[in-house]
Structure formats: C-alpha cells, structure tokens
Amino acid sequence: MTRPKKNGPKNDNKNDSDKDAIEKTAVAKETPAAQKPAAQNNAPDWAFPAIRGVQAGGEYYAVMVRLRDVTAFFAPVDKKVPPELRAQRVLSKARVPKIVEYILGNQKNYTLPALVGAVDGMPRFVPAQEKSLMGTLVIPRDMTVAILDGQHRRAAIQMALSHEYLKKRGRSLADESITVILFVDSGLEKAQQRFADLNRFAVRPNNSLGLLYDHRDELANLTRAVVRDVVLFHKLTDGEKTSVAGGSNKLFALASIHASTKTLLAGFSGSFETARQIAVEFWTEVTRVMPVWHEVGLGKVRAAELREKYVHGHAVALEALGRAGNALLRERREDWKSVLAGLGTLDWSRASQRWEGRAMVNGRIAKNAASFILTANPIKGHLGLELSIEERRHESVLISEDAQFEDGMQGDEAAATAA
C-alpha cells in the first residue's frame, strides 16, 4: 500500500534520493569531518563532562560525547580478528543505512540510546567540587576504548556526519551529543564478559506494543485508527500482546489487526484518510456479520470459549478475511457488502474438516504464510470470488498432499489385512 503523507508539517524521512545515497555509501568509509573537527584533537587527552557511579564495587562513568568525536573515540572492530580475540560482534552493514536514514529523516526528534564502552586502563576523574560525583573524565588518547554495545549506532553517526549529508541537509549534527557509559576494565576477558552480560536479558518489545507506540509508521497509525473507530475492535483488542492468551477476554491482538489490514489494503495507492475509511468500513461490516463476536463483546460468550469452538476467533482467520476482502473490494466494489454477508452462513466450526490442513494442522491452529492463503481460499469460494494463480497453486499442493496421505493410509490398511 502506498501511503502518502497526511496533511500537516512536512516530514522528509522518506526522501528517495537521500535513501539511495545512504545505501550506496560504504559503511567503513572514514570521513575526516567525522573524526577531526573537535577542538581537542591536538590535545594528548580526551576530556568529557561525566558523572561517576559505582556498580558491582567498581567505578563507571556516564560521559557526554559530541557526535563528531564518537568515531575517533572508540577503537574500530576488526572483523578479521577471530571472535575469541574481540569483545563485540562483526558489524552488519545492512543495518547501518537504516539508522542513518532514521537520524537524518528525524533531526528534530530522533532518539539514540547510550553507547557502552570499556576503557583498557585507568582514566582520571576530576570532580567539579570536592567529593562531587559530577566532573570531567580525562582519558589519554593512547588508551584503548572498546565499544561493547552500539557499534551500529557508532557507524551510523559516522556516516551521517559525512560531508555529502551535511551539505544536503543544510545543517550539522556534529555538535549534538550522545551518552556513553564507560566501564573501567583491564583485559579482553572482562570486556567480553561485559558484552555477554549486556545482552543476557535483552528483549525486544513485541509487535503489538511496538505498533501501539510507533507514531512514525503510517501503517501503525492506520492500525490504531482502525482499532479506535471499529467499535468491536476497540472493545476486544489487546494492544500489548503479540497473540491473545488462552484465558484472555480479548479476541484480537493489535499485531493481528495490523497484519490483516496490511493484507486488506495491499496494492492500494490512495491517501491515508481514504485508506482509513476503507479499512474501517470493511472491518465494521465484518464485525456486523459475525454475531458471535458481538456476544463476546456483550459478555454473553467468553473469548476463550469462542476460540475453542471456532476458527474465526484466531489470527489466521482474521488475516484470511483481509486477503478475501482485498479481492472482494477489487472485484465487487459496488455490492461488496451484500456479498460479504455470506460470511454469516459459513461453517466456522473447528470440528469442520473444511479447515483441516488450512487453518488447522492435526487439530491445532496454524499460523504461517501458507495457512493464511489456504484459509482464505474457502472463504473466497464461499463468497463466489475467483482464486488467484498463487492461491490455486497452494490448492494443488494441498490436494496432492491429501492424496499421498490417503494412499499411505490405504497401504497401511492393506498391509494390516494381509498380516
């Protein structure tokens, strides 16, 4: 779906020419502008504003480093060095341009988490006042500072500060700063242990929570609008979980509505507002012809009970409905609502063999790309819609697998009879 910008302040983070330039720039390119503009370049020491703290009985520091100094401050990670002789993973070049695009496209409201490093030696802390925890951290330039967390951010900062980007954007990020957490470690073993500990409990936010909080992504904004404007979705959607828990009173997960709406609007090229109207109207109509969903909303049926009995209480059916809806809106634009009413006469029971090998495998709900297509096929057939080439291909594979299974069962029965 092409999602033009909503009316309002211009946001340039989708500038195609900038994106192309980013992707073509080598990640490892060293840029004098990124390394040597600092006023202290000729000084024998680095000197940073810092706060001193204590953790696990040892000192560590939170320092403010200007973006122009980040590249030169940290020792580069050499991918030629065996992993057992370094304290960081190898840089993934594919990740860096995405971070650069994010920084340059959101210069007024980007957020970069702190970098984490380890100083191989003993820096000197100069307190602002006697016994103060705030002051200046002085680090000799010949002292190695290894980066333990954030090497892709470091590389992205370096790339973003290169001359071509500064000229194109008309402003410099070089004087802005980033927090760096510095531990005092002697030797590779301690640095490696720090790296392992930093990543020990790292957990990415789940898809639903990410969508709930992401205000940059247009499809995430659209999904939240759909949940807000479709009454039943608003009442029965879990905005925090990737999938709805078995005992939950919610019927849908925000991530599932996001995926289903994306499928519904695949190939759509209109404005955000038009897309919102189409999605809200479609899903409102779907909820209208699914009376059991309303019984859950009214508290007459528990969501868990519905999921136990019916396929349409699961994400695989919701995305299949989005797929069928995409075809319906294309092929029957004038009377799609009357056609969609046929959903109310479809047997959605999990006991029906109609869904085996499609929404279910051996009686258990399936959730993969093939199951979405194979679940959509009988829905489209019930509504009188033609199957696409891809959908017919999946049908052929399913029929072939069923035939092989039947042949195997008959062979087993013949063998048992002969015995």
**8 Å CB contact between 250 and 237:** yes
C-alpha 183/C-alpha 180 separation (Å) is 10
**8 Å CB contact between 311 and 348:** yes
**pTM greater than the 0.85 cutoff:** no
pLDDT at 46 over 50: yes
Nearest to 327 by CA among 269, 282, 273: 282
pLDDT in tens, 294-315: 999 999 999 999 999 999 999 9
User: Poorest-confidence range of 138-147, 209-218, 258-267, 401-410?
Assistant: 401-410
Please list, in sequence order, all residues whose beta carbon lies within 8 angstroms of the beta carbon of residue 203, skipping any fewer than 6 positions away.
none
Tokens representing 256 are 């599932």
pLDDT at 152 over 70: yes
Band the pLDDT of 49: cuts 50, 70, 90: very high
pLDDT at 401 over 90: no
**8 Å CB contact between 13 and 107:** no
For residue 110, how many other CB atoms are within 10 A of its CB? 15
pLDDT for the residue 36: 36
Three-state SS for 391?
A: helix
Return the ∠ at Cα 408 (arms to 407 and 410), rounded to 5°: 65
In terms of DSSP H, where are the helices of 170-271? 188-198, 207-213, 218-229, 231-236, 254-264
In Å, how far from its chain's centre is CA 155?
21
Average confidence (pLDDT) over 384-390: 94
pLDDT for the residue 43: 75
Band the pLDDT of 408: cuts 50, 70, 90: very low
Highest mean pLDDT among 25-34, 173-182, 202-211, 277-286: 277-286
State the amino acid at position 251 in one-letter form.
L
User: Poorest-confidence range of 30-39, 42-51, 245-254, 389-398?
Assistant: 30-39
pLDDT for the residue 87: 56
Three-state SS for 328?
A: helix
Band the pLDDT of 17: cuts 50, 70, 90: very low
pLDDT for the residue 206: 75
| Residue 329: exposure state from Cβ atoms within 10 A (0-12, 13-18, ≥19) | middle
